[in-house]
Amino acid sequence: MTESKDGVFTSDAANDDVLHVVGGKPLNGTIKVRGAKNFVSKAMVAALLAPGRSVLKNVPEIRDVHVVSDLLRLHGVDVEVDGANGIVNIDATHVQLADVADVDTLSGSSRIPILFSGPLVHRLGEAFIPALGGCNIGGRPIDFHLETLRKLGATVDKEHKDGIHITAPKGLHGAKIHLPYPSVGATEQTLLAAVLAEGKTELSGAAIEPEIMDLVAVLQKMGAVISVDVDRTFRIEGVKQLKGFTHTALTDRIEAASWASAALATHGDIFVKGATQPEMMTFLNVFRKVGGEFDVTDRGIRFWHPGGDLHPVAIETDVHPGFMTDWQQPLVVALTQANGLSIVHETVYENRFGFTKPLVQMGATIQLYRECLGSLPCRFQQRNYKHSAVIFGPTPLTGRDIDVPDLRGGFSHLIAALAAKGPSDVHGISLIDRGYADFRGKLDALGADFS
């Protein structure tokens, strides 16, 4: 691991990209989970809306924080990251330059640059959206984002040599917007663009993930006026200006659930300090049905395998408050050890089961189907995507060479290697640094055998 100039630890890809794991040992011990990757990066973008200083606390030491810090700096924002204490100071007083060099290099590892659109248009009159990165888990179109910006009065030029060029010659204005699907990113896009737009915006069909609600809390601290109706409609009353904020990020419920699944798959016992119950209720219900035990305390949640058989389950991923798409990959590894047939119907992303192939090579019995194996309305019905998985267990797993395909799939491979008999080499492991802070230190604390 190397420490960047702003104190964020990242893997040195050349030296540090393979993890040699000797599996078969239960993970036991205590680890601490900090703020959510999928909130912190958005709150950092929100800081761009206001001149002045913002302070974000409980920030995890992950690569995405480093990427967003560098993106902000390209636009003239002052960013200091205190990685050890989890504090990011942002001063967005001197925002300059909408069209910046190097942005393509940085954005290659993140989808966040698209969320700069509204804030940059408000602060500088224009924005450029480069080619976006992020996990390869489906087509990941941005049509909702662009349509939202157009509805708010932006002009979108897709032919510009420096990326999609967004301008608003007459400023952004409140509008009535409906999302065809409750997209997390498009909801955030609308919030970040509408808070300073002139007049009222109504956003129906929105996503209401806890990370989005924490972003709303940040925007409210900054001076925004936002309400949400029971039917997932946000109402935003544009204000003339915003100010900086101080905020403590909500815990990363994806990371917490990932360690919970690791406890289950390895017959372990992990106390996840910082994990909170309300955001994890749907996961906790499934964890209990599978046969895992947990104990919620004021400081975190303890997850353990109580011994005996694990039980198969049928789950469907969905937007909040459903079972998160990012929870399914680590849980699938635990389900390979359950006694019987489990079914996972993925309704959020069309291509999120690629990670199961190495699991099958390790000994799991997993069959993928194009059909919807569930009852939720699904956009992938009658389409050519293998988006349902049937997992038959228990099957012993055997260690092998694995290539990390994406963030959550990669963490699930790590769990599989830890649960498997014998050694595994997990290649491309630095991808996991995008979203799992100091996972090597945590594995060490849990007694894993790796080098």
Ligand X SMILES: C=C(OP(=O)(O)O)C(=O)O
CB closer to ligand X out of 207 and 222:
207
Instruction: Give the amino acid at 97.
Output: L
Q: Binding site residues for UDP-N-acetyl-alpha-D-glucosamine, as ranges?
A: 111, 326, 348
Give CA–CA dist 225/222, Å, rounded.
9
186 binds ligand UD1 (CB under 6 A): yes
- Helix, strand, coil percentages, rounded to 5, for the chain: 35, 25, 40
The smaller minimum CB distance to ligand UD1, of residues 45 and 196, is found at 45
Other C-beta atoms lying within 10 Å of the C-beta of residue 224: 22
Q: Which of 135, 192, 196, 414 is catalytic?
A: 135
Binding part of the chain for ligand X, among 93-101, 121-129, 130-138, 276-284 by CB under 6 A, reads: 130-138
377 interacts with ligand UD1 by CB under 6 A: no
**Residue 185, interface with ligand UD1 (CB under 6 A)?**
yes
Q: How far is the CB of 279 from ligand UD1 (least distance, A)?
A: 13
Binding residues for phosphoenolpyruvate: 37-38
E-only strand ranges, 92-212: 126-129, 155-157, 164-167, 176-178, 200-204
For tokens 């019987």, what's the residue?
Answer: 340
Instruction: Give the range of 9-17, 134-142, 293-301, 312-320 binding ligand X by CB under 6 A.
Output: 134-142
Going by C-alpha positions, the residue among 226, 225, 176 that lies closest to residue 205 is 176
Q: By C-alpha distance, which of 343, 358, 331, 328 is closest to 264?
A: 331
Residue 255 contacts residue 33 (beta carbons within 8 Å): yes
Nearer to ligand UD1, 324 or 416 (CB): 324
Residue 348 contact, options ligand X, ligand UD1, none, Cβ 5-8 Å cut-off depending on partner type: ligand UD1
143 or 401: CB nearest ligand X: 143
Alpha carbon of residue 229 to chain centroid: 25
| Pairwise CA distance, residues 130 & 165, whole Å | 9
CA 2 to chain centre: 23
d(CA 173, CA 196): 9
**What is the C-alpha separation between 209 and 417, in angstroms, rounded?**
31
Is the distance from CB of 80 to CB of 89 less than 8 angstroms? yes
Q: Is 130 in the site for ligand X (CB under 6 A)?
A: no
Please state, in angstroms and rounded to a whole number, the distance separating the CA atoms of residues 276 and 298. 8
Stretch that binds ligand X, among 133-141, 273-281, 359-367, 416-424 (CB under 6 A): 133-141
Judged by CB, which is closer to ligand UD1: 111, or 160? 111
- Give the whole-angstrom CA distance, residue 52 versus residue 424: 49
Q: State yes or no: is 135 an active-site residue.
A: yes
| Interacting span for ligand X (CB under 6 A) from 129-137, 174-182, 375-383, 439-447 | 129-137
Among 320, 347, 435, 450, binds ligand X (CB under 6 A): 435
Q: Which of residues 91-150 bind ligand UD1 (CB under 6 A)?
A: 111, 138-145
Q: Report what 435 binds from ligand UD1, ligand X, none; CB cut-off 5-8 Å by kind.
A: ligand X
Q: What's at 306, amino acid-wise?
A: P
> Does residue 154 belong to the site contacting ligand UD1 (CB under 6 A)?
no
Is residue 183 a contact point for ligand UD1 (CB under 6 A)?
yes
**Is the distance from CB of 243 to CB of 49 less than 8 angstroms?**
no
Among 326, 346, 350, 438, binds ligand X (CB under 6 A): 326
42 forms part of the interface with ligand X (CB under 6 A): no
State yes or no: residue 111 binds ligand X (CB under 6 A). Answer: yes
Residues that bind ligand UD1 (CB under 6 A): 38, 111, 138-145, 181, 183-186, 324-326, 348-349
Q: Which residues are catalytic?
A: 135
